[in-house]
Amino acid sequence: MRPEVPTIPVIPYGRQSIDAEDEAAVLAVLRSPLLTQGPATAAFEADLAAHVGARYCVAVANGTAALHICMAGLEMGSGEGITTPNTFVATSNAMAYVGLTPVFADIDPDTLNLSPAETEAALTLQTRLIAPVHFAGLPADMPAFQAMAADRDIRIVEDASHAIGSEYVGGGKVGDCRYSDATIFSFHPVKTITSGEGGAITTNDEGLYQRLLMLRSHGITRDPARLSDNPGPWWYEQQALGFNYRMTEMQAALGASQLRKLDRFMARRQAIVARYHQAFAGLNWLVRPPETPGQSVCQHLFVVQIDFEAIGQTRPEVMTALLDQGVGTQVHYIPVHLQPWYRQTHGTATGQYPAAERYYDRALSLPLFPAMTDADVERVITAVRALV
């Protein structure tokens, strides 16, 4: 039976924060001559590359498109790619798109990120790629992954869909690619900044950058330096089998406007996270996400782990009880290896990645977004503490 709609406004687990400046930026593009492949996209790419400290940036239609052409652009051939089961399906799906066999390695139960030790154990002579996901905004242990790939022909792609604004231990912004071949971002509305849909790849590899530009737009180039012939100004060449993954000018204008607010959004998220940690510190039936003293992390999700058995309630019952108080929740994520396509195609099964499965059995994401008021935050805290 479908639960009744609560009579009080629901605080969702995530939501975009759009203001008059964002609206004006999009409107200006709508009134301009170009709605695609224009100056707004190039400006957004330049701003994002400068913000994270990378040499190059390519903006695309969404985060999945970013993963796809990034992996295609690395030209790895057949083999295996390793990633975490604690993520959205797009990370491993992109491996399958480019002919790699997705392989999972278990998570570190403390950080909830891909475990370097489990990744090392999963390496084979067929491993071509490691794709760590910075879950909930906390960067994975990138120096460890870089070290294990250094003496092997293994590429590294960071899935930073959750982690724009975060910094590594020791400094450096996620996306500067000091530890990887490339980093991808997502700008879906629940992410820290949004362009509606949208994604981007940052890299310091000029060759990869040039391939990404072509793969984004049908494999076509108009660059005179790259053409095999040039009979006139109309000329273009398809030099690869590419895709139509271009970002629109409206998306780019919104993304650039949002990027200018990133520091403010980050500060508000950090304040909410600090209040949650303070309020939930004494609950012996709830495990909080890891705290990061001395490391600047822009948390995308605030995921708690609840001992449902100890409190005598199921997860659906808890979600319903919170919804009755106007608090929306979500589960991040159903382990990818438990999805039917992976079971049927790659033979994955329950029990293969016990840390990820234990985490999933207890996980619940609470509301976290910059537009939350202090009253919203206290309503969430009151509702959670009232569960027991």
Residues annotated as catalytic are 191
Three-class secondary structure of residue 137 per DSSP: helix
Under a CB-based contact definition with an 8 Å cutoff, are residues 166 and 298 in contact?
yes
Name the DSSP class of 192: S
CA 118, CA 133: separation in Å to the nearest integer?
A: 14
Please report which helix (H) or strand (E) contains residue 276, including its range.
helix 262-280
**In the chain, where do the E strands start and end?**
56-60, 79-83, 100-104, 127-131, 155-159, 182-186, 199-203, 220-221, 237-238, 286-287, 302-306, 363-366
CA 184, CA 198: separation in Å to the nearest integer?
A: 11
Distance of CA 133 to the CA centre of its chain: 7
CA 174, CA 168: separation in Å to the nearest integer?
A: 6
